[in-house]
């Protein structure tokens, strides 16, 4: 059976700049259900400089418990993770293992919005050497900062994956780039990066339609197959 997975969301209530209340989270779950989503990675922002890992994990668990029953009612599996902001030293930081999307080796990583350096790539290399798989969050957003193709090539020589935001497929400004990233094997998974039910609401289905229309259903099939694979479904 086909399971559609949203790999990036701020659906947990009251933990970051995403959903503000359990009620809003429930509405986000309903909207996701209507779009045929079967599983959602709940990935609140984690900034190493702003909180401790322990405090974050406790807060995340409390937020999850507030909507666990609603998720069950919607028939959606929620997997706990984080959108971890890159920081120097992340490659050796023990705690990041606890920030992977539950049951997978995927670490949803928000890269710095500046030109990447060899040192940044080395940090990612250290993560991969530890068996983690960096999943580069909204990969389409960084390319305007990158000038050195060699750095991009070195990054993609590592076992990393790219995640594209569905919203990028919906805007004419970013659609071409987002599609190109899938074609060139630089993007592999999709996320809504939903934050609320208004300006940044769950929109995975619309993004998927664009992929189907422009790249064909085989591309969607590959995305779904990889998604299932990483969860061992």
Cβ pair 169, 178 in contact under 8 A: yes
Smallest distance, Fe ion to C-beta of residue 191, A = 8
Smallest distance, Fe ion to C-beta of residue 100, A = 16
Smallest distance, Fe ion to C-beta of residue 150, A = 28
Smallest distance, Fe ion to C-beta of residue 138, A = 7
Interaction between residue 26 and Fe ion (CB under 5 A): no
Strand 45-46 vs strand 161-165: parallel, antiparallel, or unpaired?
Answer: unpaired
| DSSP 8-state assignment for residue 9 | B
Toward Fe ion, which CB reaches closer, 140 or 193? 193
**Which residue blocks in the chain are alpha helix, DSSP H?**
22-34, 53-74, 118-129, 149-156, 166-170, 175-183, 204-215, 217-231
- CA–CA distance from 100 to each of 2, 76, 81 (Å)? 23, 19, 5
Interface pick for Fe ion out of 6, 83, 123, 125 (rule CB under 5 A) = 83
**Contact positions with Fe ion (CB under 5 A) in 172-231:** 193
Helix, strand, or coil here: 11? coil
Toward Fe ion, which CB reaches closer, 16 or 224? 16
Cα–Cα distance for residue pair 163/84, rounded to 1 Å: 14
Smallest distance, Fe ion to C-beta of residue 45, A = 7
Toward Fe ion, which CB reaches closer, 42 or 125? 42
Q: Which residues contribute to the site for Fe ion (CB under 5 A)?
A: 83, 193
């Amino acid at each position: 059976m086909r399971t559609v997975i949203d790999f990036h969301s701020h659906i947990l209530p009251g933990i970051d700049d995403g959903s503000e209340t359990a009620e809003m989270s429930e509405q986000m779950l309903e909207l996701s259900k209507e779009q045929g989503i079967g599983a959602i990675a709940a990935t609140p922002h984690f900034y190493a400089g702003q909180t401790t890992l322990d405090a974050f994990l406790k807060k995340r668990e409390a937020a999850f418990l507030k909507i666990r029953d609603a998720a069950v009612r919607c028939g959606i599996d929620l997997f706990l993770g984080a959108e971890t902001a890159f920081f120097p030293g992340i490659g050796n930081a023990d705690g990041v293992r606890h920030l992977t999307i539950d049951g997978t080796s995927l670490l949803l990583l928000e890269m710095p919005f500046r030109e990447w350096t060899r040192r940044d790539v080395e940090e990612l290399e250290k993560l991969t050497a530890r068996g983690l798989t960096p999943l580069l969050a909204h990969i389409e957003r960084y390319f305007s900062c990158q000038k050195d193709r060699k750095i991009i090539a070195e990054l993609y020589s590592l076992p990393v994956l790219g995640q594209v935001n569905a919203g990028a497929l919906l805007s004419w400004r970013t659609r071409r780039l987002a599609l190109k990233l899938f074609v060139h094997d630089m993007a592999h998974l999709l996320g809504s990066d939903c934050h609320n039910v208004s300006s940044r609401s769950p929109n995975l289905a619309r993004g998927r339609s664009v992929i189907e229309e422009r790249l064909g259903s085989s591309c969607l099939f590959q995305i779904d197959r990889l998604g299932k694979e990483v969860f061992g479904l």
